[in-house]
Chain A
């Protein structure tokens, strides 16, 4: 019997934090231009001390201006998608829920593209227009999850199989709409857009937006964390939760909005990276158990680790060209999804 204490929670987060740090170092080292770990450590200390001017400019460009922002973006996207996945699993009471599988990522992508196309015609300042993409993605994500939720209900209760089918059908419908919208774009944009749709971390957003993303992540994930104990009870049954005094309406609203925000933001900067929200929470459950008060923070760290690894593979295995990071996560995630599905059916 090991009841949860603050110490145990920190210990678990610390383990994953150290792993994330190591993975980040390796990811900074690996790539087309070789970098030694020793040199990397020395230079990181220099940068931390504010002496970045002492670094060779070409090297500084590659490691600190290209690789590091990309890794940071991977950390943000992985954490967001994993927390969103774990949240959707509790909200919909379905272990197979994932933003990508449920079509929420496609909805977010459609919203983002719509905002991208519409923004230049609205005549607002570029700084404001930059916010339209994440906002559009959030609205797309929120609308899709609401639609899938209502389509997945049978006789008043969520039916697991119907829900998944509704998600998959929605994803294919939304992808068709995305294709339609893309025909209106100049052909030079289409290739980049297609790459982005599969999941792509190679174009980090401008610095001002990075701050915005970081802050919103902590607000949204924090909001979900306040419902963690309620989500544990919700997983044991809706009626159970109500009888234990859980305000189900409030919990659902908070988790629904916050998870849509996380999905929307992640998709708006990285496209639809699949299966992270499925794979990571399940792996963390095996490691640390299913208590959402541990699961949410550790799954955020685990998601960050997973996406940084996946992206490092994506840019190194077929170097000098690049694979889409979404292709890497799908190669790992899709078989895992089948495994979970089979295990549930038997």
Chain B
């Protein structure tokens, strides 16, 4: 058991990542290429965990391990005590909602149609969506403040609106655990803040456990309860933003000169020093 394992009473823990590692080898005879060394953290309902790190630090691999899409080489990921990888795929989809980096739709679809699609893990045989499914989809749109977009075409709304709809789509799964891979990637700064505020509010209200992969230092610092700092496949530090955001550490990881100030609310703020 890692040092962080004792942070909460066991009943309170929803997501428990225990000494999880993953290795990838191009072919079995070669030495494995480590993509993630043993990583541990735990999260309670309502908590937001940010997985932070530069490109190729293992962020997405960790997210895939948490989602159960990849089997860990060692260690385990428990969701309410069950290993996520060994859950039946449909059962897993009723508990874990994954929001990928932007995926391109091949054919235009209406917003409501797109959200309703994610009721699929609850479908029975060839039956169409029930009135309950429709209600849940509507409610999901309401939760992100996107009811007005209901009948719009997905390719005719703004990037920020689309990201809200994608979030609503994930909520339609009624998950325990919400995993997001770089959700703010193509958003302007206003839409980024909107999205994270929505995420924070939803996590608190609906008791979702949220794990967000990002390389946006200030968004992670401003909205998460815990940060997992990854660098070249190693988790360097796990903890609340204030304890992880230390100048030397961040400078080493992100290879750039920066300053860290503590805000009044205990939230660190990072500024990049441009000419150094």
Contacts and interface: CB of A to CB of B under 8 A. Distances in A.
Interface in B90-106: 90-93, 96-98, 100, 103-106
Interface stretch (B9-17, B111-119, B264-272): B111-119
Contacts of B108: 290
Contacts of B19: none
Given A1-B151, A247-B89, A235 B107 contact: yes
Contact of B105 (A229, A235, A246): A235
Contacts of A5: 128
Interface in B57-116: 67, 69, 88-93, 96-98, 100, 103-110, 112-114, 116
Interface string A1-39: 101111001000000000000000000000000000000
A289 B128 contact: no
A3 B129 contact: yes
A240 B103 contact: yes
Given A95-B106, A243-B93, A4 B100 contact: no
Contact of B100 (A89, A229, A239): A239
A338 interface: no
A266 to B, nearest CB: 24
Contacts, number: 84
Contacts of B93: 243-245
Interface string A244-259: 1111000000000000
Given A5-B128, A245-B120, A93 B103 contact: no
Interface string A213-243: 0000000000001101110110111011011
Contact of A232 (B89, B117, B151): B117
Contact of A3 (B96, B97, B123, B134): B134
Interface of A: 1, 3-6, 9, 89, 93-95, 225-226, 228-230, 232-233, 235-237, 239-240, 242-247, 285, 289-291, 293
Interface of B: 67, 69, 88-93, 96-98, 100, 103-110, 112-114, 116-118, 120-121, 123, 126, 128-129, 133-134, 138, 150-151, 173
A59 B125 CA distance: 49
A247 B97 CA distance: 17
Nearest to B181: A239
A3 B98 contact: no
A1 B126 CA distance: 21
A243 B103 contact: no
Contacts of B98: 239-240, 243
B105 A3 contact: no
Given A1-B150, A243-B69, A237 B103 contact: yes
Nearest to B105: A236
30 contacts: A1-B110, A1-B112, A1-B134, A1-B151, A3-B134, A5-B128, A94-B106, A226-B126, A230-B120, A233-B117, A236-B105, A239-B69, A239-B98, A239-B103, A240-B98, A240-B100, A242-B69, A243-B67, A243-B93, A244-B93, A244-B173, A245-B88, A245-B90, A245-B92, A245-B121, A289-B110, A290-B107, A291-B113, A293-B126, A293-B128
Nearest to B68: A243
Given A1-B134, A236-B105, A244 B121 contact: yes
Nearest to B103: A237
Contact of A229 (B104, B113, B123, B138): B123
A4 B129 contact: yes
Contacts of B134: 1, 3
